[in-house]
Structure 1
Amino acid sequence: MPSELRDVSAPRSGKGPVHVAFGVDAGYYRGMGVTITSVVENNPGRDFVFHVFAFSITADNRDKLEKLEKQLGVTVRLHLLDTATLDDFRQFPCFSKHSLGTFIRLLIPSRLRDVTDKVLYLDADLLCFGDLSELLTIDLGDNIAAAVADEKDTTVKTQIPALGLKHGHYFNAGVMYIDVRNWVAADVQQVALKSLTTLDMRFADQDALNIALDGRIRYIDPKWNFRYHLVDYLTRGETTLNVSQPYVFMHFTGPVKPWHNWCLHDVRELFTDIQSRSPWAESPLDAPRTTRELKLFSRFLITQHRIAEGIYWHCRYLKSRLMQKLKSS
């Protein structure tokens, strides 16, 4: 049974609560907390139940989740998953290629089958800027979920044929409004888990979901999952948020997140402003840690003509890379 944080809120409207789910690992609790804060702030008066699925949690993050529900007047339920859930798939060749966090998104709806008929799944690296009413009233019919199509030429040309998708569409799984009963009836969890653990996939659990839900997706307006790939903008030296099309959810895909102190873009300040109204208010932003992050940071600095700083961080990158080679030799 999932462990649950204390329910401190009564419904704030005559309608039933909106169930929102996240799947997180250690590095995403802060991002999720700020996402939740942005959702609640932009939907005043709506009753929410936020479900947090994870394989582990620190005492500090557990404490912050308890503070979050008190501060926002919402319900937060923590579901700690047992790794034994995945035992049937450990034998397959691709299982070991994935971290445990990769599997969480596939497990969520089945665990809510006795809780709600509909759940809004959100990645923990996005922010909400608007009212969810339109999304929550979508008629899914016989579809399993509503999601936004990924229409990048590279995705259409590679993933659709690679995965054998018969209906010619590929969706981004960062925002999904899910009909839980249809999901369970179609055995999506098992189909997706088997695909993920037996096939070599470029986008892991997202590819597996595209296989399992092929032909059962209602495609919705891009405003519900507007992808903002920060590394592309920063590589070009662009630091200002300038978007002409409407968006409700802005999804920060890619290796650069707005909670990185080396994210030299306006969205970092946008994120920290919302973070300041959450239990993570005093948490410092993440410094570059991996070799890849050090390399990207040095590149962004040089692109912005901060040459001396860029050279310093490039030297840090070269040192990190050398250390990696020495460890592997």
Structure 2
Amino acid sequence: MHLFIAGGQQYILGLAALLKSVELNASKDVVHRSVKITVVSKGITAQQKDKLQNCCKYEIGWQEFQSNYEELLCINGSRIAYVKLEPEKYTNEQERLIWLDSDTIVLGSLEPIWNLDLKGMAVAAAPNPWGNPNNPKDRKPYFNTGLLVYDMKLWQQEQLSKTLMKNAKINLWGDCDQGAFNSVLARRWHQLDRIWNNPDTEDMSTKVMHFMSRPKPWESPTPNKLWLDILSQTPFKDELYKNKNKSNLLFKFEQKYRQRELWVTQPLVKFKSYVKNKQR
């Protein structure tokens, strides 16, 4: 089993909890199943990498974020999410790969989706709970990219990285990489049950819980109990308490700052998109 993850300083506690959850739950076949983990790092120090390795018994292969995504149109979110458009750049996997966002935790074995027949599709994913944020009237199935299962043979045969990167350069998607994925792979993805990428923190059937909304558990004064229990088993448990004094007032200020930042950047990105489309 090969897992593909990315993270930076802002999500380092999420990454720590995810890695521990992988150790605890990803594979029940602890004797015969090896788990390979590739993590793309953006600004994570050597000391922090050692600490993250201590979160998980499986060896982590580190790759540095390659900053070639500046031309991609992005209203919000981190550009590190775009690494999932180019899995072959960061891994040498030729068969199958599972991507996990660093604001997820694994609560059940990933064996079923690792061994799943993708029915001739290059990607399997679970539906986005809120449909298509770029066009709410669009009723076509729309998937969330917080968990992806890649068929790397088909992915490379269809040259999907090239197509996705081109799409992200000329289209303005409010949900960044997710918009590009759904545009290129519309009706060409294998649908997983929502339990494999579930924002419902009360659903006990969940295999992969995804904290899609803000605040993230490490930002909240009252973190999700499941997430907190997992983080408490890592060397980062004290880091949370350093941040726990962050008040609701400060969080609201940060949210307002982000909204103001979008108010400035969104028109610029839209203008850039308009110019690019005029040049096509």
Q: TM-score range by the shorter chain?
A: 0.7 to 0.9
* Residue pair 2:53, 2:59 contacting (<8 A) in 1 also: no
Amino acid at match of 2:210: H
Give secondary structure in 2 for the equivalent of 1:254: coil
**What corresponds to 1:108 in structure 2?**
87
Distance 2:108 2:187 in 1: 29
Structure 2: which 5+ runs fail to align? 262-280
Partner of 2:3: 20
Query: For residues 66 and 198 of structure 1, what CA distance do their matches in structure 2 show?
Result: 38
Question: Identity, % of aligned pairs?
Answer: 21
Which region of structure 1 is more displaced relative to structure 2, 175-184 or 274-283? Answer: 274-283
Q: Which has the larger radius of gyration?
A: 1
Q: Does 1:221 align with 2:190?
A: no
Q: 1:94-150 deviations in whole A, cap 9, x for unaligned? A: 3697743242222224432x3341000001111111122221111113201111112
Residues 203-245 of structure 1, C-alpha deviation per residue, up to 9 Å, x if partnerless?
A: 11111111122232100111111123xxxxxxxxxxxx543x6
Instruction: Determine the structure 1 residue equivalent to 2:205.
Output: 246
Per the alignment, residue 130 of structure 1 pairs with 108
Shift of 1:275: 1.2
Describe the SS at the equivalent of 1:79.
Answer: strand
User: What do residues 162-211 of structure 1 show as CA deviations (whole Å, max 9, x unaligned)?
Assistant: xxxxxx21100001111112112222222222222221211111111111
2:251 is matched with 293
**Shift in alpha-carbon separation, 1:148–1:159, aligned structure 2, 3 A:** farther
**1:51 matches 2:7:** no
Alignment equivalent of 2:16, drawn from 13, 25, 33: 33
Matched position secondary structure for 1:103: helix
- After superposition, the CA RMSD in angstroms is 3.2
What is the number of residues matched between the two proteins?
Answer: 254
SS at match of 1:260: coil
Aligned residue type for 2:216: K
Contact 2:75 2:176 in 1 (8 A): no
Unaligned runs of 5+ in 1: 1-17, 162-167, 229-240, 298-316, 325-329
* TM-score normalised by length of structure 2: 0.78
Contact 2:17 2:227 survives alignment (8 Å): yes
Higher relative contact order (CA 8 A, sep 6+): 2
CA contact (8 A) 1:34 1:271 kept: yes
TM-score, length basis structure 1: 0.67
Q: 1:74 to 1:248 in 2, by over 3 A?
A: same
Paired residue for 1:61, among 42, 45, 48?
48
The question of 1:259 aligning with 2:183 is answered no
* 1:4 corresponding residue in structure 2: none
Residue 181 in structure 1 maps to residue 137 in structure 2: no
Relative to structure 1, is the Cα distance of residues 260 and 98 closer, same or farther in structure 2, using a 3 angstrom cutoff? closer
Residues 1:273 and 2:265 aligned together: no
Is the CA contact 2:196–2:208 (under 8 Å) kept in the aligned structure 1?
A: yes
